[in-house]
Amino acid sequence: MALTTPFLTFTAKLLSGATARWLDCQPDTCQRVYFANHTSHLDALVVWSMLPRDVRAVTRPVAAKDYWEKGPIRRYLAQSFNALLIDRKDIKVHQSPVDLMIREIGDLHSLIVFPEGSRNTESEMGDFKSGLYYLSKKRPDLELVPVFIENLNRVLPRGEFLPVPLLSCITFGPPIWLEQREPKGEFLKRARDSVRQLKER
Amino acid sequence: MMQSAFTSLLSSSNWFCQLLAQATISDLLDLKTIILLIVVLGFLAGAYITGHVLRRQPNTSVHPALIRTFNARIQAWGLMCLIVALAFLFGRMATIVLFGLISFWALREFITLTPTRLGDHRALFWVFFVFTPLQYVLIGMGPEHYSFYIIVIPVFGFLFIPARIALSGDYKRFLERAAKIQSGLLVCVYTLSFAPALLDLQLETPTSNGPPKPWEGSNAGLLFYFILLAQLNDVLQYVWGLWLGRRVIAPEINASRTWEGFFGGIASTTLIGTLLWWVTPFSVPLSACMAAVIAIMGFAGSMTMSAIKRDRGVKDYGTLVEGHVGILDRIDSICFAAPVFFHLVRFFYLAE
């Protein structure tokens, strides 16, 4: 695994031609939740690869179990980038994804999440699922860092398996927190807007 | 006394250059090319030092932003020049691979800026991973594939791209999308590939009496002459424009390109091209003509790419993706001038 990880991040960077922009936010190893728009299967891998090495070491992308556990290669790749696999189909009450995430990160790890749930094909972002809200309600100390992913959906669109090596851009924005007694709907809308605003900058 | 010292200096420097020529592992470089490369690199090094000395000085009349731009430019050219020199040192294949990689990256920038749709994905895959490598593989296979590499993109690629897009079943803005991908492939790959193709031309020089004799110079020198003039023309047009520029040619497209800059640039590029006749198979007046053609085509390339950038609402191809150097911004003039220069040389100087 130690061998494939540098290779994997290198390939991801090369293929996506990605650049990272940090706007009003600096890379840090403190516990964070990076939340991004979801456009491509490459999202989790590329955002993770664009983090500096020491930050990457404590960051785990949250990815869909049904996709990343299909076949030995995907399973191996998911292991290599230290993915936290979530079952989207079979959500139990006592084993909710949010509980699983909180248990897995402990007081060390950060997460990369995609609150839209599934990749959207529209150009406009979908509404955020409530996971982000419950996550920060239970762990209000986590910094929520909005991330805007640009152009990756053209590198590897939905339903394609051959990538086209265009240039993409990953923008990290200023962190937000859940305000005291902020209603769920309002918070999710604010979070979604914070990602969308990065598009303009 | 003076004269003997000068002669011995000359002979020792000559000996040094011969040693250099023998030491290189590549057959691309000859003495003249090495001299030209060293002169240009030395000039850039001088400019680099000047720029940094200027930056250190607190009270200069020159604007600090201008110095910063100047330094960045000089650094970029120095790097470019070093890479080209290294490629020459490693030989013909390395040079072709280098240009192939430049094309690939330029195409990346071009298509990134071009709005394509999901239905273009498969066609784009072909463009990036079949047509682009194929063009350079054909160039690499040698001049006997000339009749194939001049048509593979403009004929087969031209027909293939819209057909492949049609298969995907998305008809929205169909002609526009096909045309954009075709243009990208032509501008970034096809035209640029004629620069390394120069290396394979068997050239001859006309003699004043009797049949032409084979040219003994190096084609790498000719290629460097071409790149140097195309790049210099960019700078000279800019400098002349800053100095004397009054009448802007097309303010909507590029506010810094003026008629004064255009003519000043062409005149000075032609002058430099004339002075560099010794690296080429051309006679002195023909070297001047070739330099003028390179200058005019380079100008056309810059204007065309500026128009595309304006349409997309960006300043540089590099700005979309911050931190990336826009390669396309640097090579637009070379792209337009390469096929014209190649074919002029081929038409007038190809050995029978």
- Contact between residue A175 and residue A194 where contact means Cβ atoms under 8 Å apart: no
Identify the CA nearest to A67 among candidates A49, A100, A43. Answer: A43
The reported pLDDT for the residue numbered B10 is 55
The reported pLDDT for the residue numbered A201 is 73
Q: Average of pLDDT values for B138-142?
A: 94
Q: Is the pLDDT of residue A51 over 50?
A: yes
Give the percent of chain B with pLDDT over 70: 88
Q: How far apart are CA B43 and CA B48, in angstroms?
A: 9
Query: Which of B116, B170, B316, B321 is best to mutate for the A interface (most A CBs within 10 A)?
Result: B321
CB spacing of B320 vs A167 below 8 angstroms: yes
The better pLDDT of the pair B128, B322 is held by B128
> What residues of A are in contact with residue B122 (Cβ under 8 Å)?
160, 162
Q: How far apart are CA A158 and CA A152, in angstroms?
A: 11
B168 in contact with A, Cβ within 8 Å:
no
> What residues of A are in contact with residue B323 (Cβ under 8 Å)?
19, 21
- Contact between residue B242 and residue B258 where contact means Cβ atoms under 8 Å apart: no
> What residues of A are in contact with residue B111 (Cβ under 8 Å)?
164, 166
**pLDDT tens digits, one per residue of A31-45:** 999 999 988 888 999
**pLDDT tens digits, one per residue of B177-225:** 999 999 999 999 999 999 999 999 999 988 877 788 888 889 999 999 9
Q: Which domains does chain A have, with CATH numbers?
A: 4-200 (3.40.1130.10)
Query: Across chain B, what does the average pLDDT equal?
Result: 87
ipTM of the complex model: 0.84
Q: What are phi and psi of A176, to 5 degrees?
A: -125, 165
Q: Is the pLDDT of residue B29 over 90?
A: no
Identify the CA nearest to B154 among candidates B125, B119, B182. Answer: B182
Q: How far apart are CA B329 and CA B162, in angstroms?
A: 27
Residues of A with CB under 8 A from a CB of B: 17, 19, 21, 121, 151, 154, 157-158, 160, 162-169
The DSSP secondary-structure symbol of B206 reads -
The reported pLDDT for the residue numbered B314 is 73
Q: Is the pLDDT of residue B323 over 50?
A: no
Task: Kindly state the tokens that stand for A125.
Answer: 């972002």
The reported pLDDT for the residue numbered A2 is 57
The better pLDDT of the pair B220, A87 is held by B220
**pLDDT tens digits, one per residue of A128-147:** 888 899 999 999 999 999 99
pLDDT tier, B8 (very low <50, low <70, confident <90, very high otherwise): low
Identify the CA nearest to B171 among candidates B117, B122, B123, B114. Answer: B117
Q: What are phi and psi of A178, to 5 degrees?
A: -80, 125
Helix (H) or strand (E) holding B222: helix B219-244
